[in-house]
């Protein structure tokens, strides 16, 4: 017997189309990045990667990412806890507000920050008077990166914590456990995979963020250039190999992230089986 829509011709056609489209739109560009990066040999690739400005951009990107993750982690856990464990007016509104960074174009986000914290901005004027510079410096880059990435952890946790309910926590509290103990011994073990997954997504986005960062960074070479901005500059300067060398680095980070995500999903599936 054959199920509906399972005729050999249909099946071959669909699988074929999926494979061709994946190869064209996903695999080929990835291959092209590495081909371009190594087009003039490993030596040229290496000299581009170890270039002073490239190293500075890599360093800044890593620092921003390392600072962003704990902030997003804390924010995400606290928000998910608040939204799923308490009932208060405006709870639904808050759940919608979490999505603003996803809904708003990153460039717009960057502009908003510039308007608020820039020298002529509402808060920026006061900051300037106190000799604090946020925009066109690394704190600004950090702020917009956090803005753009803050929903990931919360979005991963909220559905899970909603589905799990608070019964295990209630059981723990009737057994005399303190709030901190409950979090450490009951809540955290139940959400750890979703938490890690959220961190991986946050990491991927923080490393690759371009739009919002490009508005507030000022793109000063060696100072406020992140890797994606540096890449763009190299490309504008007709340094194709340099640009693609940076692109290859970003692609490598992305591939590593995907591998980590697949590994986590595989572990989670095995635990459930």
Partner 1 sequence: MGIRLSQIAKTYGRPGTPRALEPIDLEIASGELVGLLGPSGSGKTTLLRIIAGLEQPDRAPAGTLHFGSRDVTEVHVRDRRIGFVFQHYALFKHMTVFDNVAFGLTVQPRSQRPSSGEIRARVHQLLEMVQLERFAKRYPAELSGGQQQRVSLARALALRPEVLLLDEPFGALDAKVRQDLRRWLRHLHDELNFTSVFVTHDQEEALELSDRVVVMSNGRIEQIDAPARLYRAPANRFVFEFLGDVNRLEGEVRDGVLTCGEARLAVELPEGPQELLLRPHELSLDAAPGAAAHLPMTVTAVVPVGAEVRLELAADWLAEPWLATIGHGDFERLDVKRGQRLYALPQRWHRFGAEGQPAAKPSLA
Closest to partner 1 by CB, 86 vs 238, is: 86
Closest to partner 1 by CB, 2 vs 87, is: 87
CB contact set of 94 (below 8 Å; sequence gap of 6+): 79, 82, 83
Q: How far is the CB of 167 from partner 1 (least distance, A)?
A: 4
Q: How far is the CB of 173 from partner 1 (least distance, A)?
A: 5
Query: In terms of Cα–Cα distance, which of 161, 141, 138 is closest to 76?
Result: 161
Q: How far is the CB of 193 from partner 1 (least distance, A)?
A: 11
By CB atoms closer than 10 A (0-12, 13-18, 19+), residue 5 is exposed
Residue-wise over 173-183: b if at least 16 C-beta within 10 A, else e?
A: eeeebeeeebb
Q: How far is the CB of 174 from partner 1 (least distance, A)?
A: 4
∠ at Cα 222 (217, 225), nearest 5°? Answer: 30
Closest to partner 1 by CB, 12 vs 185, is: 185
∠ at Cα 200 (218, 241), nearest 5°? Answer: 50
Closest to partner 1 by CB, 60 vs 186, is: 186
The dihedral region occupied by 164, where left means phi > 0, alpha psi between -120 and 50, and beta the remainder, is alpha
Distance between CA atoms of residues 163 and 161, nearest Å:
5
Closest to partner 1 by CB, 8 vs 89, is: 89
Q: How far is the CB of 92 from partner 1 (least distance, A)?
A: 14
> Where does this chain bind partner 1 (CB under 8 A)?
167-168, 170-178, 181, 185-186, 189-190
Closest to partner 1 by CB, 6 vs 272, is: 272
Rounded to the nearest 5°, which phi and psi values hold at 121? -80, 175
Q: How far is the CB of 88 from partner 1 (least distance, A)?
A: 11
């Amino acid at each position: 017997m054959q199920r509906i829509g399972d005729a050999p011709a249909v099946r071959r056609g669909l699988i074929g189309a999926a494979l061709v489209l994946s190869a064209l739109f996903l695999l080929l560009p990835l291959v092209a990045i590495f081909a371009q990066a190594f087009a003039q040999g490993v030596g040229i690739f290496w000299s581009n990667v170890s270039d002073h400005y490239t190293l500075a951009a890599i360093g800044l990107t890593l620092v921003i990412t390392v600072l962003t993750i704990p902030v997003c982690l804390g924010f995400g856990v606290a928000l998910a806890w608040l939204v799923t464990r308490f009932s208060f007016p405006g709870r639904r509104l808050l759940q919608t507000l979490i999505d603003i960074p996803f809904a708003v174009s990153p460039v717009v986000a960057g502009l908003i920050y510039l308007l608020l914290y820039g020298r002529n901005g509402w808060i920026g004027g006061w900051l300037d008077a106190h000799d604090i510079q946020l925009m066109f410096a690394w704190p600004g880059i950090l702020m917009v990166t956090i803005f753009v990435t803050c929903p990931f952890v919360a979005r991963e946790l909220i559905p899970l914590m909603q589905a799990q309910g608070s019964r295990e926590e209630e059981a723990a509290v009737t057994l005399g456990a303190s709030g901190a103990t409950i979090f450490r011994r009951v809540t955290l073990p139940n959400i750890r995979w979703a938490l890690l997954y959220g961190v991986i997504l946050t990491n991927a986005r923080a490393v690759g963020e371009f739009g919002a960062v490009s508005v507030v960074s000022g793109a000063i070479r060696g100072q406020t250039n992140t890797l994606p901005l540096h890449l763009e500059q190299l490309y504008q300067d007709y340094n194709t190999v340099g640009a693609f060398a940076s692109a290859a680095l970003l692609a490598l980070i992305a591939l590593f992230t995907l591998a980590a995500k697949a590994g986590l999903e595989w572990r989670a599936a095995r635990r459930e089986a």
